[in-house]
Structure 1
Amino acid sequence: MNNQIGIGLQMYTLREELNRDFRGTLRKVAEIGYEGVEFAGYGQLEAGELKSLLDELKLKAIGSHVSLPSIRSRLAEEVAFVKAIGGQYMICPSIPMEMRHSAAPWKNLFSELEEAGRLVREAGLTFGYHNHAFEFEFEVEGRFVFDALLGTTSPEHVVAEMDACWVHVGGQDPIAYLHQYGGRIPLIHLKDYGPVEAGGKDTVELGKGEQDLHAIIQAASAADVQWLIVEQDRCQNAPLQSVSDSYSWLRQVLGE
């Protein structure tokens, strides 16, 4: 097991809490024990304010999710903010629905991401793409979109933040992808998926669903993943309790 692998939290999980009290919510995340945080918005804090708060709480800024429109229109400003808070990764979190259903928009996007990744790398950061399930439901020239993206772009300019849950929901094996693309997936969104009391299936706390998380974590360590990032899209319990429970489960699995 890679003892250097970090435990982080995607702050989108706590979006409602952040809207009410951004600083206080970050403080609670630090109290739970998380080493790092990945942002999806900054609560209207300036970069210097946020960096001071992170330093006070001894939290590492892993990086940020930055929307495709922002990547297109204000890449330099977004890069500067991530650098100023001490982050390393800038991740495109998704793409609009209308771009997902045919090969041409995907091919154009691959070129666009490659160029954005080149600029981000020149600035000293790492650029990546975060998958959902639809990248395993559509194909580009006989390959799933996820594979076509990594096969078309260069490893120096575009990495993957693999959401292991949505690989699974897309009908594929996240462990096989970790083996295949070892070294190209520095970040994993670690989440579980299974039945919920309200009926149907949804994201659940780590260890409560149907994913073989132990095997995913072992494969992640072998694939040189740097951060396991807890994320729960929807929480059936209070979100802060959910991320606390998932953190405790993950620490136990990692033997820390």
Structure 2
Amino acid sequence: MTKPHLAAQVYTIRDFIKTADAFAASMQRVRAIGYDGVQLDLEHHPDVLAAAIKQACDDAGLAICISHFGYDLFEHELDAIIERQQIWQCNQTAIVNMPERYHKQGADGYRRFAAEASAIGETLAAAGITLSYHNHSFEFVRFGTQTGLDIIYAESDPRFLHAEIDTYWVQHGGGDPADWIQRVGGRMDIVHYKDMAIMPDGQQVFAEVGEGNLNWPAIVEATMETAVPWIVVEQDRCRRDPFESLAMSYQFLQRFR
């Protein structure tokens, strides 16, 4: 069984990638930890040119496994996204989240989003790019027997909209991360590994992988069984140096490799 590659989501180190020089130095640090690649999040390095990003990743020996863009860019700047993906030699991109206007419309809004995202994905597929959807927890609102996330994947075209399951947000929404990885098996190229810890006051917080309460043996087993090619480690907020957090997550995951 082929082991998935490990990548870091640059959102975790967003405060360290705001210039071309800072981005390049940070990519070297990510590679030194041991990661094979990165996931790009353009919002947090807007002043770094696409070519400079690619050069920095190449120099560090990091693959660009996937990118994240807001839905408005997919709607209005799709040609620019395709151009960036070609510069990065990256054939995967993902919608960060579904805009509020859709989930305000209830189940019909989810259906409309699924159809529209599929159409965008079809255009991207013609350019050799796969589109995925990155979930949060709001998609776990129920409409009878289905959640919003159920509707997105039931009503979208599996050829043109893949899944990018985020383990933290599935758990936050009351779902089972391992079960969801299995459910979208064969339709997921990237999975987001993110842990959840509980503070003494009951607050849920983001944690390094292995430092929280998610069932990692089950999650990793599901990832391996469904042959997901890439695991992306992300931590939205860190309570220590973000590079240390990335290193802790990386070291924890080595026990499963």
Same fold (TM over 0.5): yes
**1:159 is matched by which residue type in structure 2?**
H
Percent identity between the two aligned chains:
27
Following TM superposition, by how much is the alpha carbon of 1:252 offset from its aligned partner in structure 2, in angstroms? 2.6
- Pairing 1:33–2:34 present: yes
Task: Give secondary structure in 2 for the equivalent of 1:220.
Answer: helix
Following TM superposition, by how much is the alpha carbon of 1:198 offset from its aligned partner in structure 2, in angstroms? 7.9
Task: Give secondary structure in 2 for the equivalent of 1:19.
Answer: coil
**1:9 is matched by which residue type in structure 2?**
A
Cα distance in 2 between the residues matched to 1:109 and 1:228: 26
Q: Which runs of 4+ in 1 moved over 3 A?
A: 196-199
Name the counterpart of 1:178. Answer: 181
- Pairing 1:152–2:180 present: no
> Greater CA deviation, 179-188 or 73-82?
179-188
Q: Deviations over 1:41-90 (max 9, x none)?
A: 14423222222221111100012101111001111110120121121211
Cα distance in 1 between the residues matched to 2:98 and 2:154: 19
Q: Deviations over 1:179-237 (max 9, x none)?
A: 22211122110011012478622111111111011210111111121111100111111
Residues 95-244 of structure 1: matches in 2 within 5 Å?
95-101=98-104, 102-139=106-143, 142-196=145-199, 200-244=203-247
- Pairing 1:67–2:70 present: yes
Number of residues paired by the alignment? 252
Structure 2 unaligned spans of 5+: none
**2:32 is matched by which residue type in structure 1?**
E
Name the counterpart of 1:24. Answer: 25
Q: Is the 8 A contact 1:37 1:59 kept in 2?
A: yes
Structure 1 unaligned spans of 5+: none
Task: Give secondary structure in 2 for the equivalent of 1:132.
Answer: coil
Q: Is the 8 A contact 1:196 1:204 kept in 2?
A: no
**2:141 is matched by which residue type in structure 1?**
E
Cα distance in 1 between the residues matched to 2:202 and 2:155: 40
Q: Is the 8 A contact 2:69 2:93 kept in 1?
A: yes
Q: Is the 8 A contact 1:91 1:128 kept in 2?
A: yes
- Over the aligned positions, Cα root-mean-square deviation in angstroms equals 1.7
Cα distance in 2 between the residues matched to 1:171 and 1:209: 16
Aligned pair partner of 2:83 in 72, 80, 83: 80
